Structure 1
């Protein structure tokens, strides 16, 4: 094997590893389908529901009761999220909510779940008026 081929193989392996680390699910994060997400929202111990999309996306429609804390602002707003309450996360497709879960786990949150497939999988109603952030 020549050196160029070995370097190319190593380069591809590093790219695959970085992609895997970026997109792997957060360990301990529960994936909920629409029905499971709705069921969690109606439990007596109400969860803290976070829409991690950007404000412009949120204004277009969100799940009633959700607080908009965009992923881009999450690290600066961690104090707004209770650690003693279950947290439900969602976004448009489920990718940003997984990233948010990783950040919350690192910050000491333990009861996290997200809407698998995001709002793209949601079959419930959406609210269209803007709530306070």
Structure 2
């Protein structure tokens, strides 16, 4: 009986620690998004489509993903290369960012803001939910 009680206590402690870790990760993620919202717009697909013609649309996914399909008119600057290639962007024009889910876009927006870019927008649902025009190859 004592062994089962000890196991139950250990299991309960493990589950509580796991729940606490999940809560910390979730809180950190939402805190980062809250901070980014101060200088970045999160756009729905229709809002994103409405501004595409006036913005620099940047696909942050890797080359292979870009070749498999991307938003019509987008340029590919993989997130891993952004710090070396951001000078190719014009800071006086809006920059619309997207990746598969928006995780990389949040990090890219933070970096670009630090470099002086002021008109930043992120596709809220990422490319995975995009229903608009795409180009392959």
Describe the SS at the equivalent of 1:92: coil
Q: Compared with structure 1, are the counterparts of its residues 22 and 35 closer, same or farther at alpha carbon in structure 2 (3 Å cutoff)?
A: closer
Describe the SS at the equivalent of 2:73: coil
Q: Which runs of 4+ in 1 moved over 3 A?
A: none
Q: Which has the higher helix share?
A: 2
Residue 3 of structure 2: aligned partner:
none
Report the TM-score, using the length of structure 2 for normalisation: 0.76
Within 2, Cα distance between the matches of 1:54 and 1:117?
Answer: 18
Name the count of aligned residue pairs. Answer: 117
Larger Rg over CA atoms? 2
Unaligned runs of 5+ residues in structure 2 are: 1-16
Unaligned runs of 5+ residues in structure 1 are: 1-8
1:58 aligns with 2:66: yes
Deviations 1:38-59 (A, max 9, x none): 00114xxx21110000101101
Within 2, Cα distance between the matches of 1:78 and 1:22?
Answer: 26
Residue 30 of structure 1: aligned partner:
41
Report the TM-score, using the length of structure 1 for normalisation: 0.78
Describe the SS at the equivalent of 1:77: helix
How much does 1:18 deviate? 10
